[in-house]
């Protein structure tokens, strides 16, 4: 499997080496672990604020009462189409095409495995919180603290999908890396704001989606490394299972070998 991560040309080797450093950052920035802990703490604090209530309720209520979709009816259809970028199906298919092309260039399954791993992590983490909180959206109620009511609004799935899918694309990109990062940030930001415009989500839902998606991206390099290590161990184990075992020696073969040695020694002594 490690041989597959080696590219066929110097340029591809550079691409693959760049892709391996997904979580690396210059020393002047906080470490990935520090950033992960900080974002996780903010996510937990935000979740507690949604459940228990906080001054953020005022912002949620004000955004919902602004009724932007009805105030700007001409823009609403465009925003409704644009927010599809945050839906998992369309965006993951677009990302799959690009990542498949990168996989061919690198002669490695790594880009596609990263996408599948990231989406699996996103489904487990965001889906669990959605079900546990059960929050209703502004389209159904004007009370931001309508939690444990069977809803699935917090955190925003569209927002977290946009963060993770376009974030993985930016991670794997080699050419025009800065442009791809800018695209990922722009799409993740505007998709989240679009859901507020359409009264689909509260402001805190979008904040939660940004935090949840960022956590997946921060944890992705280490998670992939552990999966790769586990896969290599399993491959070695399976290889050992199918390795031909030496035939046990029989008494006749041992006796024949001993007799041959004695005859050889006797001939040499003469």
Instruction: Considering only residues 201 and 108, tell me which one the structure prediction assigns the higher pLDDT.
Output: 201
Distance from the first to the final alpha carbon of the chain: 58
Q: Which range among 25-39, 84-98, 123-137 has the greatest average pLDDT?
A: 123-137
Contact 187, 166 (CB under 8 A): yes
Query: What integer pLDDT is reported at residue 149 of this predicted model?
Result: 92
pLDDT per residue over 148-188, tens digit each? 999 999 999 999 999 999 999 999 987 888 999 999 999 99
C-beta atoms surrounding 45 within 10 Å: 12
pLDDT per residue over 42-61, tens digit each? 999 999 999 999 999 999 99
pLDDT per residue over 205-247, tens digit each? 999 999 999 999 999 998 888 887 787 777 677 767 776 665 5
Query: What integer pLDDT is reported at residue 258 of this predicted model?
Result: 47
Average predicted confidence (pLDDT) for the chain: 82
Query: What integer pLDDT is reported at residue 256 of this predicted model?
Result: 54
DSSP string across the chain: -TGGGS-SSHHHHHHHHHHHTTT---TTSPPHHHHHHHHHHHHHHHHHHHHH--THHHHHHHHHHH-HHHHSTTTHHHHHHHGGGGSHHHHHHHHHHHHHHHHHHHTSSHHHHHHHHHHHHHHHHHHHHHHHH-PPPTTT-S-TT--SSS---SSPHHHHHHHHHHHHHHHH--TTHHHHHHHHHHHHHHHHHHHHHTTSS-HHHHHHHHHHHHHHHHHHHHHHHHHHHHHHHHHHHHHHHTSPPPPPPPHHHHHHHHHHHHHHHHHHH-
Contact 18, 174 (CB under 8 A): yes
Contact 216, 166 (CB under 8 A): no
Residues in the chain: 270
Instruction: Considering only residues 260 and 9, tell me which one the structure prediction assigns the higher pLDDT.
Output: 260
Cβ contacts of 194 within 8 Å, gap of 6 or more: 79, 82, 83, 86
Query: What integer pLDDT is reported at residue 188 of this predicted model?
Result: 95
């Amino acid at each position: 499997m490690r041989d597959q991560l080696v590219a066929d040309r110097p340029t591809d080797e550079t691409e693959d080496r760049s892709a391996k450093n997904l979580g690396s950052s210059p020393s002047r920035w906080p470490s990935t672990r520090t950033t992960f802990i900080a974002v996780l703490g903010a996510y937990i604090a935000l979740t507690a604020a949604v459940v228990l209530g906080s001054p953020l309720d005022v912002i949620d209520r004000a955004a919902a009462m602004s009724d932007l979709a009805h105030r700007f009816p001409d823009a609403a259809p465009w925003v409704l189409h644009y927010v599809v970028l945050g839906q998992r199906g369309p965006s993951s298919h677009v990302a799959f095409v690009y990542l498949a092309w990168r996989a061919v260039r690198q002669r490695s399954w790594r880009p596609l495995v990263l996408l599948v791993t990231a989406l699996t992590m996103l489904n487990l983490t965001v889906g669990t919180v959605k079900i546990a909180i059960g929050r209703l959206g502004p389209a159904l109620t004007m009370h931001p603290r309508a939690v444990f009511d069977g809803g699935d609004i917090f955190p925003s799935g569209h927002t977290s999908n946009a963060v993770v899918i376009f974030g993985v694309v930016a991670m794997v990109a080699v050419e025009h890396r800065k442009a791809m990062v800018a695209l990922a940030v722009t799409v993740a930001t505007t998709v989240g704001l679009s859901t507020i415009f359409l009264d689909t989500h509260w402001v805190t839902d979008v904040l939660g989606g940004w935090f949840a998606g960022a956590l997946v991206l921060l944890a992705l390099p280490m998670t992939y490394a552990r999966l790769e290590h586990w896969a290599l161990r399993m491959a070695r184990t399976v290889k050992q299972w199918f390795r031909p075992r030496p035939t046990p020696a029989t008494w006749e073969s041992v006796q024949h070998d001993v007799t041959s040695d004695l005859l050889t020694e006797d001939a040499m002594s003469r």
